[in-house]
Amino acid sequence: MTTSLSPEQLQPVCTALSSAALIRLISEIDDNGSIPSRGLARTLSDLTPHQIRHATEQAHALGLVHARRGASLGLTESGADLADVYDATARWARRHEYPARSGDFTGRIRHTLALLAEPQVFAALAAAQAPSHLAAAGRLSTAKAAAELVQPWNALAQWLDANPQAVEIAEGELAA
């Protein structure tokens, strides 16, 4: 799968999607169902009120969540698809111990999205090639890890193709 984005466009999108608070919000709703708005602080107790507010605003702007009856937040189809991207990314990172043998779900996603946004990696994956130089440079543990990086790449590219507004929103966030 390829994307029509340039590396310059992908970088701010990956940065926006790498927000730890956004990852936590989307993943929590995906795993456990809608969250009452008043229960966000309790559910996401490791986040500050500011982080929760920013993640919620970002999720609304990206069309990832919607308010349901009783003012609870649920995932839209786009939000559920992004949760799948996060899951695929975390699975790849865990399988290949990226960025390290131990790590948490959010950190693995953040590091892998940053890797996918690197211009050389982007170019290789967009051309449907494995970025084998990463294994040679010691950044990935094996050539197999480099070859399988296409899995989270494809998930991200499909999500971006289905959600072109994410590029505009991410670019606007960084400009603000």
Position 1 in a domain: no
Pair (170, 98) in one structural domain: yes
Which residue's entry shows tokens 């984005």?
5
Quote the pLDDT of residue 176.
47
Helix 165-175 vs helix 150-162: crossing angle, to nearest 10: 90
Quote the pLDDT of residue 175.
46
Domain count, the chain: 2
Return the structure tokens found at 43: 């559910």
Pair (147, 102) in one structural domain: yes
Pair (153, 92) in one structural domain: yes
Pair (92, 110) in one structural domain: yes
Pair (33, 116) in one structural domain: no
> For each of the chain's 176 residues, which pLDDT tens digit applies?
556 778 888 999 999 999 999 999 999 999 999 999 889 999 999 999 999 999 999 999 999 999 866 679 999 999 999 999 999 999 999 999 999 988 999 999 999 999 999 998 988 888 888 788 887 777 888 889 999 999 999 999 999 999 988 888 887 764 44
Pair (70, 100) in one structural domain: no
Quote the pLDDT of residue 1.
53
pTM listed for this prediction: 0.91
HEC string of 62-121 equals CCCEEEECCCEEEECHHHHHHHHHHHHHHHHHHHCCCCCCCCCHHHHHHHHHHHHCCHHH
Pairing of strands 72-75, 65-68: antiparallel
The C-alpha atoms of residue 145 and residue 162 are separated, in whole angstroms, by: 26
Position 61 in a domain: yes
Assess contact for 164 and 49: CB atoms under 8 A: no
List CB contacts of 22: < 8 A, sequence separation 6 or more. Answer: 16, 55, 58, 59
H/E run at residue 26: helix 20-32
Pair (37, 101) in one structural domain: no
CA neighbours closer than 13 Å in the CB half-sphere of residue 1: 15
The C-alpha atoms of residue 16 and residue 112 are separated, in whole angstroms, by: 13
> How many CB atoms sit inside 10 A of residue 167's CB?
19
- The burial class, CB within 10 Å (0-12 / 13-18 / 19+), for 176 is exposed
The C-alpha atoms of residue 92 and residue 173 are separated, in whole angstroms, by: 28
Domain that holds residue 110: 7-13+80-175
Pair (68, 114) in one structural domain: no
Pair (37, 88) in one structural domain: no
The C-alpha atoms of residue 141 and residue 38 are separated, in whole angstroms, by: 43
Position 52 in a domain: yes
